[in-house]
Structure 1
Amino acid sequence: MRVKVIGIPVQDQEIALQFYTEKLGFIKKHDVPLSENNRWLTVVSKEEQFGTEILLEPSPNHFEPAKTYQKALFEAGIPYTQFNVDNIGEEYNRLINLGVEFSMKPTEMGTVKIAILNDTCGNNIQLIEML
């Protein structure tokens, strides 16, 4: 068994695609129309183009529990998921220069350093560097 796709709920797929590719540096893998307003839209790491795909999944406006959960996580400052980086200081500076907002600057916590950013699509994303 392997993990092939993980989903991240996003409020607007086009804004999410721009953020995840232009700011975070992922590349678009699949973009398949499903309905008038929804797509099967995935991005992958440039370093692992055949690795796990991130599905930029439309946050369902018609399903209130999902909206409530996403909003509650965001407001509590809890990351929806995390991405590993080799050097969190360099990545933090690169993203700050691109206008990315962070709720937590790089902080050492035992055997890791973490930072938390706002993905502009309703989620906090944690970056982590293993020390």
Structure 2
Amino acid sequence: MKIRLTSVFVDDQAQAERFYTEILGFVKKHDVPVGEKDRWLTVVSPDEPGGTELLLEPAGHPAARAYREALIRDGIPLAQFAVDDVRAEYARLCGLGVRFTQEPLETGAVTTAVFDDTCGNLIQIATQPQ
């Protein structure tokens, strides 16, 4: 069993595409119209173009909205991305105007930080020991 696809619900797919590609540095993999306004829009890491895809899924379902609002209210990230150096990525993203809700925090061998993806989610970045 392998993880090939996971998703984050987004308020606006065009805004999410810009943020996840231009700011975070992911690469668009699929962009297929689905219905009148939605798209099957996935991004991947440029380091692993054949790796796990992230679906930027429209958050139109009422359950998705309630779920995300509860997570944000409680400060819980919807997803986590691995980075080589949280402090360096934090500095890079701050320089691009990304708003963090948690600055880099060391908890034992793991360092994390949490940012607002501008699309209705909190995302955690983490550096974990190899």
Q: TM-score, normalised by structure 2?
A: 0.97
Q: Kindly, what percent of the aligned residue pairs are identical?
A: 50
- Asked if 1:11 is matched to 2:19, the reply is no
| Counterpart-to-counterpart distance in 2, 1:65 and 1:32 | 24
| Counterpart-to-counterpart distance in 2, 1:24 and 1:53 | 14
Structure-1 residue corresponding to 2:111: 113
Structure-2 residue corresponding to 1:53: 53
Structure-2 residue corresponding to 1:20: 20
Structure-2 residue corresponding to 1:129: 127
Structure-2 residue corresponding to 1:37: 37
What runs of 5+ residues in structure 2 fail to find an aligned partner?
none
| Counterpart-to-counterpart distance in 2, 1:44 and 1:22 | 13
Q: Secondary structure at the match of 1:30?
A: strand
Q: Secondary structure at the match of 2:119?
A: coil
| Counterpart-to-counterpart distance in 1, 2:128 and 2:74 | 24
| Counterpart-to-counterpart distance in 1, 2:121 and 2:45 | 19
Structure-1 residue corresponding to 2:66: 68
Which residue identity is paired with 2:25?
G
Q: Secondary structure at the match of 1:46?
A: coil
- Selected match of 2:98 from 96, 100, 121: 100
Give, in angstroms, the shift of residue 76 of structure 1: 1.2
Q: Secondary structure at the match of 1:75?
A: helix
- The Cα offsets for residues 45-101 of structure 1, whole Å up to 9 and x where unpaired, read as 0111100000000002xx322211111111211000100000111100000000000
Give, in angstroms, the shift of residue 3 of structure 1: 0.7
| Counterpart-to-counterpart distance in 1, 2:106 and 2:112 | 7
Give, in angstroms, the shift of residue 35 of structure 1: 1.2
Give, in angstroms, the shift of residue 122 of structure 1: 0.5
Structure-2 residue corresponding to 1:87: 85
The ranges of structure 1 where at least 4 consecutive aligned residues each deviate by more than 6 angstroms after the TM superposition are none
Give, in angstroms, the shift of residue 36 of structure 1: 1.3
